[in-house]
Structure 1
Amino acid sequence: MPLLKFDIIRGRSDEEIRQLLDAAHEAMVEAFEVPLTDRYQTVTQHQPEELILEDTGLGYRRSADVILLTVISRPRSQEQKTKFYRLLVERLQTSIAISPEEVIVSLVENSDADWSFGHGRAQFLTGELK
């Protein structure tokens, strides 16, 4: 945990998708200080007409490279969040040449009671996970 959900436009290669996931995981591990094996990621690919992501008046030019990342996580500090945003775009630009203006992130916080990792238990509440 956190859970990272990527929405992208269909057309990237398997290798590009793997690099995207790896770059995001590295940024998350560093910024949120979670274990390296704490990896939960999904990718949903859309036809271009199914994903409308405009610039909110910032003057960004979006292309078929645009990435919408929803991060669902326990509460994080403002410092951790801004560090994650920065590391994410740096790593994506380096690994797969994604422009920083193509990366949109929404971080949604929840609590320990909102997670079950199996066996019908809330492992953060039972103490199985910290």
Structure 2
Amino acid sequence: MPFVRIDMVEGKPETYRKTVGDTIYEALRTQMNVPENDRFIVIAEHSPEEMMISPDYLDIQRSPNCIVIQITLNTGRTVEMKKAFYHAVAYGLHERVGLRLEDVFISLVEVPKENWSFGNGEAQYA
């Protein structure tokens, strides 16, 4: 059960935001073995002043269009799976919405399965 939070600068059209969400979901399905319909994505837009992203950390030249993708998911994916996922997201976004590879920032937060409740006040995975 991944939970995806996407932060981007305000002003992008609805089709852009939808394509970003779709691209990440497809990469989760193909690269991280996420089941079908396990789609929980929230997109937040911010003013340029609220996006305090280093323009050159690790010698990666980021533009003001940099998006931040944070995904909370169950532990257990291999490093190879994560690398394939990062690649699929960055290149997918580049191809589908023209986002520069340098402007895709991804953070994975791994948690134990018992840390989820999908509703009804229950811990479905515990």
The interval holding the TM-score normalised by the smaller chain is over 0.9
Please name the residue that 2:116 is paired with. Answer: 115
| RMSD value, Cα | 1.1
Task: Tell me by how many angstroms 1:62 deviates.
Answer: 2.1
Please name the residue that 1:57 is paired with. Answer: 57
Task: Tell me by how many angstroms 1:80 deviates.
Answer: 1.3
The alignment's TM-score, normalised by the length of structure 1, stands at 0.91
Q: In the TM superposition, what whole-angstrom CA distance separates every residue of 1:85-120 from its partner, at most 9, and x where no partner exists?
A: 000011101110111100001111101111000111
Question: Aligned partners of 2:107 and 2:80: how far apart in 1?
Answer: 15
| Equivalent runs, 1:12-31 vs 2, <5 Å | 12-31=12-31
Please name the residue that 2:66 is paired with. Answer: 66
The alignment's TM-score, normalised by the length of structure 2, stands at 0.94
Please name the residue that 1:78 is paired with. Answer: 79
SS of 1:94 mapped into structure 2: helix
Tell me the matched-pair count: 125
Q: In the TM superposition, what whole-angstrom CA distance separates every residue of 1:21-60 from its partner, at most 9, and x where no partner exists?
A: 0011111111111112110100111000001111453333
Task: Tell me by how many angstroms 1:77 deviates.
Answer: 1.4
Q: Is structure 2 residue 89 aligned with structure 1 residue 94? A: no
Asked if structure 1 preserves the Cα contact closer than 8 Å seen for 2:55 and 2:63, the reply is: no
SS of 2:58 mapped into structure 1: coil
Question: Aligned partners of 2:70 and 2:94: how far apart in 1?
Answer: 19
Q: Percent identity?
A: 30
SS of 1:26 mapped into structure 2: helix
Segments of 5+ residues of structure 2 without an aligned counterpart are none
Task: Tell me by how many angstroms 1:64 deviates.
Answer: 2.9
